[in-house]
Amino acid sequence: MVQQVTKGIKISVKTTYEGSFYKNYKIQYAFGYTITIENQSKDSVQLFARHWEILDALNNIETVSGEGVVGKKPVLKPGESHTYSSGCLLTSPLGAMHGHYSMVNFTTTKKFQVTIPTFKLSAPFAMN
């Protein structure tokens, strides 16, 4: 598990390898990840956007940005957490992801970014 705290918001990430399949004559490696966002600050906050950079071992980089996470824009009071699961496809059995969440502090009304730490995606058979 990978964890990081930015401005009182703790991000924890667990990853899984889901398998591989062929699509359009190319092999795709499927990975899942579960993220817990925990508000350790004294203020209520809301996640309103995400930004990802997804890298594979072939030096391909995919950038993904959008509103919320899996269709939600969770509001977290102090001490609360939100957990969600998602996934990605890579063209190699090894890769990594990192990014940030855009959030707003309801007390100060200021927007801020929370770092999503780099986490590795690796198929078990690709490990030495």
Which residue segments constitute the domains of the chain, with CATH numbers given? 2-122 (2.60.40.1470)
Binning the chain into helix, strand and coil, the percentages to the nearest 5 are: 0, 70, 25
pLDDT surpasses 80 at 127 = no
**Is the dihedral angle over the CA atoms 14, 16, 22, 26 positive or is it negative?**
positive
pLDDT surpasses 90 at 125 = no
CA dihedral defined by 124, 29, 59, 2, rounded to 10 degrees? -50
User: What pLDDT is stored for residue 14 in this prediction?
Assistant: 98
Q: Give the residue-averaged pLDDT of 76-103.
A: 97
pTM of the model: 0.93
Query: pLDDT tens-digit profile of 36-76?
Result: 999 999 999 999 999 999 999 988 899 999 999 999 999 99
Query: pLDDT tens-digit profile of 16-28?
Result: 999 999 988 999 9
User: What pLDDT is stored for residue 128 in this prediction?
Assistant: 56
Go through 100-122 and write b for each residue having 16 or more CB atoms within 10 A of its CB, e for each that does not.
bbbbbbeeeeeebebebeebebb
How high does pLDDT run on average in the chain? 95
pLDDT surpasses 80 at 79 = yes
Using only C-alpha atoms, the chain has a radius of gyration, in whole angstroms, of 16
Higher pLDDT, 57 or 101: 101
